[in-house]
Amino acid sequence: MAAPHTTPAPAALADAIAQRVLDHPAVARLHGGPFGTVASYLPGRRVVGVRVDETDGSVDLSVVLWVGVPLRQAVADLRRVVVEIAGPVIVNVTVADLHSVEDDASEAEDDAGEPPGARSAPGGGSNPVPE
């Protein structure tokens, strides 16, 4: 008979899930979801992309995956990773975006020559807009 699964405290759980998810080769980064709502709020900080519901133990995960990975397989893998850590809970995985190596190069090129904290104007204009 297997030993009962003990669930760690929400803070430790969110940190452990975030680290294991980021270690997955399909994951480019965690994502905060709309308005940063997918996060675990801990004393003095938050874990973006992982929300652990303290009432039912369910886990919401929001990720950006690398282009070219099989999405269904990646989502199934991430669910398994969360269940290994949190036990038999409901795991909701949202693939918020796809990221490519070309995106990294484009972002680096876009940032070159702009003052710190500046971004492009809405609509793709070239005038920097302070954040």
Q: What is the pLDDT of residues 88-124, one digit of tens each?
A: 999 999 999 999 988 766 666 665 555 444 433 334 4
Q: Give pLDDT, residue 110.
A: 60
| pLDDT at 83 > cutoff 60 | yes
- Give the residue from 91, 98, 90 showing the smallest Cα distance to 63: 98
**pTM, entire model:** 0.73
Burial of 62 (0-12, 13-18, 19+ CB in 10 A): buried
Longest C-alpha distance within the chain, in Å? Answer: 65
Tokens of 6: 């003990």
- Give the residue from 81, 44, 87 showing the smallest Cα distance to 61: 81
Task: Give all domains of the chain, ordered by start, each with its CATH number.
Answer: 10-110 (3.30.70)
Percent of the chain with pLDDT over 70: 72
Write down how long the chain is. 131
Element holding 73 (H helix, E strand): helix 71-86
d(CA 16, CA 57): 14
Percent of the chain with pLDDT over 90: 62
Mean per-residue pLDDT of the chain: 82
Q: Which region among 51-55, 65-69, 87-91, 117-121 has the lowest average model confidence (pLDDT)? A: 117-121
| pLDDT at 25 > cutoff 70 | yes
Please compute the mean of the pLDDT values over residues 26-35 and round it to a whole number.
96
Bridge partners, 23 (sequence order)? none
Q: 98 in helix, strand or coil?
A: strand
